């Protein structure tokens, strides 16, 4: 038979997934994460409710194609600013990774943050690690059904609220709240609310560490930013080994033991289920739960803290850790320049933007008196929150005249005006010429915006 069609054996590459039951942990770094979770989720859930100048402070109004961020209004024409912002975000990730490893993963990633909340809810309803494991192994009795349904109710409710908040960034949230109360949401609002809610439920409730292990692109390439001076979480094998249990009163040296009492708590608290004592691993999201857990044990044993600690490869090998090094300096400088440039670009954004489109139907028209005429459609986009009265003129071509129906045009706040403009030149002009159309405000606000265009005259004979 054809050997190619044989079903491949399913051993080797992919081991069966084992559910991780992270043990609860307390300590310095866990406190830091709790603060981070509350701050980040707080911002996410509260931000859409904040008002600014009588409207929602942060609203990405997709139907109207306008994006409000506090006092600023952005249009699709400002897309390069978003690209710029994403480049800044990517570079900050590089910079902080080079400096302090996977800080993002351990404290700020939405996956971590929402998983943390979902684990809390799991703990409230199903109890601590031991109880959760026992409950899962036990039979489906009244207690199990009650606890599991309570957990599901909390999870589903919170997921739906998350989906609702997410949609609230795109649809005015007070209106959305009323629609939810009366169940009169539009079909797309329904769809995206359930979609995002379901994604939260699945990712934070069930996928958890598997998202980091199998789905996250950052987890795959972050090691490229690492070097000997990057902060990592590491087990001090020289101090810990040989590991083994011992009574508290015994001096470990007398039994030829290191400081690790092999209590396995560092493994039990790990949300990705790894053993940090085996060295740095791809799965480690640098959440520092094992540091908190081990410090706790060390204190109980009256050993010094830091058997597992934040350190660098250089420090572990007895060298000095260098924070300032070419990698961090280059990332840092580029980051500062990009951020400064971004704010400059936002501050100097023209309040009224001008677009010039040449009429596609005719290259040019010769008038009765011999003059040559090109027709353009000019679009003025007012990004300001107040109206502006604008006048158009043309530059770059001698004796060119710009003619519009009205002498000036009023562009409403956040409004768009389309103007048909005719530009005329004497018959002596030949060939294609570069011109510039300028819109200037006549209301004394000093707004001016320019756009380049092409004027086409008959070719020279």
The residue within the footprint of other proteins, chosen from 38, 46, 76, 345 (CB under 8 A), is 76
Pick between residue 212 and residue 257 the one whose CB is nearest to other proteins: 212
368 binds other proteins (CB under 8 A): no
The residue within the footprint of other proteins, chosen from 49, 52, 188, 198 (CB under 8 A), is 188
The residue within the footprint of other proteins, chosen from 31, 65, 278, 386 (CB under 8 A), is 65
Residues binding other proteins: what is the number (CB under 8 A)? 22
Rounded distance between C-alpha atoms, residue 441 and residue 33, angstroms: 51
Pick between residue 64 and residue 363 the one whose CB is nearest to other proteins: 64
12 binds other proteins (CB under 8 A): yes
Pick between residue 63 and residue 318 the one whose CB is nearest to other proteins: 63
CA–chain centroid gap for 364, Å, is 49
Cβ–Cβ < 8 Å for 105, 112: yes
- Among 15, 14, 13, 29, CA closest to 285: 29
Q: Which residue has the tokens 């995206």?
A: 192
Cβ–Cβ < 8 Å for 414, 426: no
- Number of helices and strands (H, E) in the chain? 15, 16
CA–chain centroid gap for 395, Å, is 43
CA–chain centroid gap for 428, Å, is 57
**373 three-state secondary structure:** strand
The nearest distance, CB 49 to other proteins, in angstroms, is 22
The phi and psi torsions of 347 (rounded to 5 degrees) equal -70, -35
Pick between residue 188 and residue 310 the one whose CB is nearest to other proteins: 188
DSSP state, residue 278: G
CA–chain centroid gap for 91, Å, is 12
Name the burial class of residue 145, with classes exposed (0-12), middle (13-18) and buried (19+) by CB atoms within 10 angstroms of its CB.
exposed
Segment contacting other proteins (CB under 8 A): 1-9, 20-28, 264-272, 389-397? 1-9
63 binds other proteins (CB under 8 A): yes
**198 three-state secondary structure:** helix
Rounded distance between C-alpha atoms, residue 97 and residue 104, angstroms: 8
The nearest distance, CB 188 to other proteins, in angstroms, is 5
Pick between residue 64 and residue 153 the one whose CB is nearest to other proteins: 64
The residue within the footprint of other proteins, chosen from 10, 18, 302, 369 (CB under 8 A), is 10
The residue within the footprint of other proteins, chosen from 69, 146, 153, 191 (CB under 8 A), is 191
407 binds other proteins (CB under 8 A): no
The nearest distance, CB 204 to other proteins, in angstroms, is 16
Pick between residue 216 and residue 301 the one whose CB is nearest to other proteins: 216
The residue within the footprint of other proteins, chosen from 79, 124, 206, 221 (CB under 8 A), is 79
Cβ–Cβ < 8 Å for 266, 233: no
Whole-number CA gyration radius for the chain = 32
Pick between residue 167 and residue 425 the one whose CB is nearest to other proteins: 167
Site string for other proteins, 196-225 (x = CB under 8 A): ------------------xx-x--------
251 binds other proteins (CB under 8 A): no
Rounded distance between C-alpha atoms, residue 242 and residue 365, angstroms: 92
Site for other proteins in 302-341 (CB under 8 A): none
Binding site for other proteins (CB under 8 A): 3-4, 6-10, 12-14, 62-63, 65, 76, 79, 82, 186, 188, 191, 214-215, 217
């Amino acid at each position: 038979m054809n050997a190619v069609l044989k079903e491949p054996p399913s051993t080797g590459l992919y081991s069966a997934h084992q559910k991780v039951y992270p043990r609860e942990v307390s300590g310095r770094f866990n406190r830091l994460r709790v603060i981070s979770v509350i701050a980040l989720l707080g911002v996410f859930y509260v931000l859409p409710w904040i008002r600014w100048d009588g409207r929602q402070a942060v609203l990405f109004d997709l139907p109207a194609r306008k994006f409000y961020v506090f006092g600023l209004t952005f249009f699709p024409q400002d897309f390069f600013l978003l690209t710029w912002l994403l480049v800044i975000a990517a570079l900050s990730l590089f910079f902080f990774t080079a400096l302090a490893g996977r800080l993002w993963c351990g404290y700020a990633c939405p996956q971590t943050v929402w998983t943390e909340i979902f684990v809390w809810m799991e703990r409230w309803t199903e109890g601590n690690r031991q109880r959760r494991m026992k409950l899962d192994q036990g039979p489906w009795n009244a207690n199990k059904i009650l606890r599991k349904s309570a957990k599901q109710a909390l999870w589903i409710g919170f997921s739906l609220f998350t989906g609702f908040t997410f949609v609230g960034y795109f649809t005015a949230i007070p209106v959305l709240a009323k629609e939810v109360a009366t169940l009169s949401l539009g079909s797309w609002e329904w769809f995206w609310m359930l979609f995002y809610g379901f994604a939260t439920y699945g990712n934070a409730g069930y996928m958890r560490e598997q998202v980091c292990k199998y789905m996250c692109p950052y987890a795959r390439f972050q090691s490229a930013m690492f070097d000997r001076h990057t902060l990592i979480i590491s087990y001090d094998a020289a101090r810990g080994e040989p590991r083994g249990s011992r009574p508290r009163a015994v001096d470990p040296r007398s039994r030829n033991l290191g400081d690790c009492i092999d209590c396995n708590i560092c493994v039990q608290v790990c949300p990705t289920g790894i053993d940090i004592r085996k060295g740095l691993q791809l799965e480690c999201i640098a959440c520092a739960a094992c540091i908190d857990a081990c410090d706790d044990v060390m204190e109980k044993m009256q050993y010094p803290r830091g058997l597992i600690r934040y350190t660098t490869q250089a420090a572990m090998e007895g060298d000095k850790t260098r924070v300032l090094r070419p990698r961090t300096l280059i990332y840092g400088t580029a980051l500062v320049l990009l951020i400064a440039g971004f704010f400059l670009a936002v501050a100097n954004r023209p309040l009224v933007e001008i677009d010039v489109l040449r009429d596609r139907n005719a290259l040019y028209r010769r008038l009765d008196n011999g003059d040559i005429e090109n027709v353009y459609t000019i679009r003025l986009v007012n990004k300001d929150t107040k109206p502006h009265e604008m006048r158009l003129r043309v530059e770059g071509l001698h004796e060119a005249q710009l003619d519009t129906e009205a002498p000036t045009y009023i562009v409403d706040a956040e409004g768009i005006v389309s103007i048909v403009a005719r530009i005329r030149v004497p018959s002596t002009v030949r060939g294609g010429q570069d011109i510039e159309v300028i819109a200037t405000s006549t209301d004394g606000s000093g707004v001016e915006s320019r756009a380049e265009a092409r004027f086409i005259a008959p070719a020279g004979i």
